Chains A and B, each alone.
Chain A
């Protein structure tokens, strides 16, 4: 392993942990938050406009479709972050059960599912115009499909309980178990399976492999941050809606 790879892995870990910690603070926030929500809007709108207009390197085959990088990849990043937050809520639920933590875990997971479907749709579109097919048997694509199946199963599991506490506890257990058993492999398997069309395949998936030039970085990083903040925002709003519904039902 080179020094760059080690630095990359460590900083990735630090950013992930920091993101989860910050993310759960943001999702649980009771009021305010105009600052980061404004930032999210600004970053996404800015990255979308710049994503369509900024100059990009004319690479063979990819051509202008490389602009999808500003949408497709941030969506997956945001999905991973919000799913990690969901797992974190599930762990907290098992330590001290409360209806609140269950709602937060459930809504975060649902937000992750929506982002995952968006990521699949944008990726599929991209694949159609660069690889010639909507879906290819690539380990990364299969991994994405498996992740969606797992969270589909999570929703089915939740639906099959009548008792609320039982549902909360068992689905928290499945959430943690599925995440621990499968999600790490989604990062390991593509690296074991040799060459592939999908970028970031061998070795450390550093950004340099996306052939990012400096203009693209200036759009890509804000897009990632914007989408992640947006994901936390969606999770927050949908959790608040469920809290209100619960409160209304009590009265």
Chain B
């Protein structure tokens, strides 16, 4: 096989075109985006209603667990529509225009941006309705962003795989994606618990570094594997 000698800017241009395409599509089909935001909003509201029965806010461990469960399911819903929206014909069309590496990188970038926005909005709504027990806010938000990036990178390839299977894509995505996200979630929940309790930041360094390394591993493997997925 001949090594690719094309200059990097071509890849970057393809990525930015695809990214712009994704944003434009999202804007034209606002129902999907609105559905996602409504999903987050109504879940938070249901949590608020259930906890208001006991008068007031949940204890910090429950607060933490619920937030991550909400974000996990929101991420699943947000990423699921990425590849599944596209028809096989559309995919074939992209195939003739751009390289698969550009497709996966653009999709990961797009999902990262989308999930970052969803996570921040979710956190905002959550603190408004369920109180704010966070003691180390910068660490908490940094961890949240790392989580959004991690969810996006992991789920992007999984959604590509689930889209290939067709039919019950959303269910398959949950089955394929959850086990992959458990280790990441464990680290995220641990760090966000540390941030909630305002523990010394030194305690979270190792976990944060592991998260970062994990994101890189997942991104790199997605980049390497996607061309094979796309070929069919």
Interface residues of A (CB under 8 A from B): 94, 139, 142-143, 146, 149-150, 152-153, 156-157, 160-161, 165-166, 169-170, 172-174, 176-178, 180-182, 184-186, 188-189, 192-193
Cα A213 to Cα B192 in complex, Å, equals 42
- Structural contact, B210 and A146, CB atoms closer than 8 A: no
10 example contacts (A-B, Cβ-Cβ < 8 A) are as follows: A149-B182, A152-B179, A169-B229, A173-B157, A173-B229, A176-B221, A177-B180, A182-B180, A182-B183, A185-B214
- Structural contact, B179 and A160, CB atoms closer than 8 A: no
Say if the beta carbon of B186 comes within 8 Å of chain A: yes
- The distance from the CB of B186 to the nearest CB of chain A, in whole angstroms, is 7
- Structural contact, A173 and B228, CB atoms closer than 8 A: yes
- Structural contact, A146 and B229, CB atoms closer than 8 A: no
Instruction: Report if A170-B214 is in contact (Cβ < 8 Å); known contacts: A177-B225, A185-B183.
Output: no
- The distance from the CB of B223 to the nearest CB of chain A, in whole angstroms, is 11
Q: Which residues of B contact A160 (CB under 8 A)?
A: 165, 167-168, 172
- Structural contact, B183 and A146, CB atoms closer than 8 A: yes
- Structural contact, B179 and A150, CB atoms closer than 8 A: yes
Q: Which residues of B contact A176 (CB under 8 A)?
A: 221, 225
Cα A192 to Cα B172 in complex, Å, equals 31
Known contacts A150-B180, A174-B161, A177-B221; 11 further A-B pairs (Cβ under 8 A)? A153-B175, A153-B176, A160-B168, A174-B176, A176-B221, A177-B161, A177-B225, A180-B217, A181-B214, A181-B221, A189-B186
Residue of B whose beta carbon sits closest to that of A165: B232
Say if the beta carbon of B206 comes within 8 Å of chain A: yes
- Structural contact, A181 and B232, CB atoms closer than 8 A: no
Cα A184 to Cα B168 in complex, Å, equals 30
Instruction: Report if A146-B179 is in contact (Cβ < 8 Å); known contacts: A160-B172, A170-B164, A180-B217.
Output: yes
- Count residues on chain B whose CB falls below 8 Å from chain A CBs: 32
- Structural contact, B167 and A166, CB atoms closer than 8 A: no
Cα A178 to Cα B221 in complex, Å, equals 10
- Structural contact, A170 and B182, CB atoms closer than 8 A: no
- Structural contact, A166 and B232, CB atoms closer than 8 A: yes
Say if the beta carbon of B178 comes within 8 Å of chain A: yes
Q: Which residues of A contact B175 (CB under 8 A)?
A: 152-153, 156-157
Say if the beta carbon of B194 comes within 8 Å of chain A: no
Residues of B155-171 contacting chain A, CB below 8 A: 157-158, 161, 164-165, 167-168
Residue of A whose beta carbon sits closest to that of B162: A157
- The distance from the CB of B225 to the nearest CB of chain A, in whole angstroms, is 5
Cα A103 to Cα B149 in complex, Å, equals 35
Say if the beta carbon of B154 comes within 8 Å of chain A: yes
- Structural contact, B232 and A186, CB atoms closer than 8 A: no
Residue of B whose beta carbon sits closest to that of A186: B183
Residue of A whose beta carbon sits closest to that of B231: A169
Query: Which of A152, A169, A178, A192 is in CB contact (< 8 Å) with B180?
Result: A178
- Structural contact, B229 and A170, CB atoms closer than 8 A: yes
Residue of B whose beta carbon sits closest to that of A94: B228
- The distance from the CB of B226 to the nearest CB of chain A, in whole angstroms, is 8
Q: Which residues of A contact B210 (CB under 8 A)?
A: 185, 188-189, 192
